[in-house]
Amino acid sequence: NAGVTQTPKFRILKIGQSMTLQCTQDMNHNYMYWYRQDPGMGLKLIYYSVGAGITDKGEVPNGYNVSRSTTEDFPLRLELAAPSQTSVYFCASSYRPGTNEKLFFGSGTQLSVL
Amino acid sequence: GESVGLHLPTLSVQEGDNSIINCAYSNSASDYFIWYKQESGKGPQFIIDIRSNMDKRQGQRVTVLLNKTVKHLSLQIAATQPGDSAVYFCAEIPISSGSARQLTFGSGTQLTVLP
């Protein structure tokens, strides 16, 4: 069972470039999340989705977009990369908020914007 | 806004000793708390959770204590092993997060196990 899979693991972007961070889960979880983690800091929520076709902003959504066309996939899009977006990005999913709250995390994507 | 915070950013313990990692939270409306372990280069890994209607919960070598009076959460690791070296995060879900049940993370404590 693969769990939550993120690609790529590392990426370097130039200012103004765009890219999509991929996330897929095979646990049939309805809830999916994107977090960013700056050095020495906790995780901050960028966007989340409560099911296919439904997305909503988290704490730090500016500069990002998401889509959720299937239960399995939740890609994160950076349209105009900025140095402030240099961070480690984690995708997570959970089964049933309210009864089973555990988030399962992917291994992360380390992004540098130069 | 309200947030989850940690008392100490770093903690060093001798192998075999017990570790205690503390966390202060300010949102009295939070009803669910989780401890995560994050090893270098990896995503956070679930350790143990506790709901606000409980004071204590035990797992394998780990115990979480919740003191709602002073809004304090602690993680106790028994017989600390080298593999326990990692950053530990506490996180909470405020009732105000609604159906999304969004986790709010603290900044983490680096636990180092000394030989």
3-state secondary structure chain B: CCCEECCCCEEEEECCCCEEEEEEECCCCEEEEEEEEECCCCCCEEEEEEECCCCEEECCCEEEEEECCCCEEEEEECCCCHHHCEEEEEEEEEHHHHHHCCCEECCCEEEEEEC
In chain A, which residues have their Cβ closer than 8 Å to the Cβ of B45? 105
**Is the minimum CB–CB distance between A101 and chain B shorter than 8 Å?**
yes
Model confidence band, residue B101 (pLDDT cutoffs 50, 70, 90): low
Would you list the domain boundaries of chain A? 4-113
Q: Which residue out of B6, B38, B89, B97 would a mutagenesis test of the A interface target, given it has the greatest number of A Cβ atoms within 10 Å?
A: B38
* Higher pLDDT pick, A103 / B86: B86
Task: Output DSSP code: residue A72.
Answer: S
pLDDT tens track, chain A, 114 positions: 679 999 999 999 999 999 999 999 999 999 999 999 988 788 899 999 989 999 999 989 999 999 999 999 999 999 999 999 999 999 999 886 655 567 899 999 999 999
Contact: A48, B102; criterion CB under 8 Å: yes
Would you list the domain boundaries of chain B? 4-114
**Is the minimum CB–CB distance between B46 and chain A shorter than 8 Å?**
yes
pLDDT of residue B99: 59
pLDDT of residue A6: 96
CA distances from A50 to A27, A74, A95, B44, B112 (A): 14, 11, 10, 21, 37
- Neighbouring-strand partners of residue A43: A37
Using CB atoms within 10 A of its CB, is residue A95 exposed (0-12), middle (13-18) or buried (19+)?
Answer: middle
* Domain at A4-113: CATH code: 2.60.40.10
In chain A, which residues have their Cβ closer than 8 Å to the Cβ of B100? 31, 48, 50, 56, 97
Per-residue pLDDT averaged across B105-115, rounded? Answer: 90
Rounded Cα distance between A37 and B102, Å, is 16
Inter-residue contact B75 to B47 (CB < 8 Å): yes
Q: What tokens does B31 get?
A: 């009803």
Rounded Cα distance between B108 and B86, Å, is 10
DSSP characters for A44-69? EEEEEEEETTEEEE-S--TTEEE--S
Name the CATH architecture for the domain at B4-114.
Answer: Sandwich (2.60)
